[in-house]
């Protein structure tokens, strides 16, 4: 498949070049990413009239702190680890506390704050990063790889893999903020999630281990509805997330997660081999609710749930891998 790839240096960080790469298909579909944190810095896809717009939140200038983790590959563990600690093979690991007593997205030394090596492919790029044992207080030497590959029919495939030299924990995702309306009405986008249960959170935003039915709650997205339809409902779980969604949904089957915008008629279908999708409605941005993250991953805080912990434990003979497809289109 023929795509064009461009690159430009956009900043310097720790005396190293920050490079933005542009993957461009023949029909104009375009995905931009940085060699820093694997950040997806732009996705340009047409509306029903053929007009190309960026449909993810993007910064106008490079910011190494990247508040809100816009577009980043988050890890070693995506989401919160309760109490910023976990037990593995009889040893307690105390991590950096960077979010109300929890470890969020791997902490200050997470892979989203690292410069990755980039190898260009015929249809995209492969990013690689070596994380030494003890980085951000996590065990094991880990080699991470992320592939971004695009097609002529406006699909981005994200493939993750990791190998380690001893037992450790891994759970990666991409933290892009979608706004198919391109700034016009994000909460008017319609979302469908094939999930009958969601994971509850506590006052610190950490998943508690309790799964609840979505039936008769604002969390029922089994039939498509506007994101903003129930976001201000009187529900304790919405209030705990600063009045919005920031919860894992347990995916029932292989059906797609669907997002659509009635204004532009853009659509996004997400398919994945992951068991969960965290729906985050940008409750802490300024202003609030300007986009939605759809983070496919293992269950957050899984290492502290007996029934889910094995899903995030990896070893030399059990490498990590995951794949998610973002298919963009129009109604």
Which ranges constitute the DSSP H helices of the chain? 236-240
The reply to whether 325 belongs to the active site is no
CA distance 70 to 164: 27
CA distance 226 to 224: 7
CB 104 within 8 A of CB 96: no
How does strand 207-213 pair with strand 195-201? antiparallel
The reply to whether 175 belongs to the active site is yes
What does the radius of gyration of the chain's CA atoms come to, in whole angstroms? 19
To 5 degrees, how large is the angle CA 294–CA 299–CA 303?
145
207 CB contacts (<8 Å, ≥6 apart)?
Answer: 79, 80, 82, 199, 200, 201, 247, 248, 299, 300, 301
CB 24 within 8 A of CB 6: yes
Q: How does DSSP classify residue 185?
A: -
Catalytic hit among 69, 175, 289, 325: 175
The number of beta carbons lying within 10 Å of the beta carbon of residue 68 is 18
Catalytic hit among 69, 105, 295, 325: 295
Cis amide linkage into residue 51, ω under 30° from 0 = no
| Residues classed as catalytic | 175, 295
């Amino acid at each position: 498949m023929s795509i064009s790839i461009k690159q430009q240096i956009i900043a310097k960080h720790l005396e190293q070049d920050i490079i933005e790469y542009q993957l461009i298909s023949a029909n104009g579909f375009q995905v931009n990413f940085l060699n820093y944190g694997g950040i997806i810095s732009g996705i340009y896809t047409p509306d029903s009239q053929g007009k190309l717009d960026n449909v993810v939140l993007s910064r106008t200038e490079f910011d190494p702190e990247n508040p809100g983790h816009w577009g980043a590959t988050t890890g070693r563990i995506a989401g919160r680890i309760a109490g910023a600690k976990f037990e593995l093979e009889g040893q307690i690991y105390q991590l950096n506390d960077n979010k109300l007593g929890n470890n969020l997205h791997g902490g200050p030394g997470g892979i989203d704050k690292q410069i990755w090596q980039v190898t260009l492919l015929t249809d995209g790029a492969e990013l690689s990063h070596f994380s030494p044992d003890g980085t951000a207080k996590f065990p094991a030497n880990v080699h991470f790889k992320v592939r971004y590959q695009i097609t002529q029919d406006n699909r981005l495939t994200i493939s993750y893999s990791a190998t380690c030299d001893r037992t450790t924990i891994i759970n990666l995702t991409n933290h892009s903020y979608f706004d198919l309306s391109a700034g016009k009405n994000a909460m008017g986008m319609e979302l469908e999630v094939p999930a009958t249960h969601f994971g509850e959170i506590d006052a610190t935003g950490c998943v508690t281990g309790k799964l609840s039915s979505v039936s008769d709650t604002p969390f029922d997205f089994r039939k498509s509805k506007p994101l903003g339809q129930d976001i201000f409902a009187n529900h304790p779980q919405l209030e705990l997330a600063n009045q919005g969604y920031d919860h894992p949904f347990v995916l029932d089957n292989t059906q797609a997660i669907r997002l659509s915008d009635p204004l532009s008629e853009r659509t996004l279908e997400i398919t994945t081999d992951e068991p969960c999708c965290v729906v985050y409605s940008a409750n802490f941005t300024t202003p609030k609710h300007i986009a939605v993250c759809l983070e496919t991953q293992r269950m957050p805080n899984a290492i502290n749930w007996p029934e889910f912990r094995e899903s995030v434990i990896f070893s030399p003979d059990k490498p990590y891998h995951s794949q998610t497809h973002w298919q963009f289109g129009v109604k």
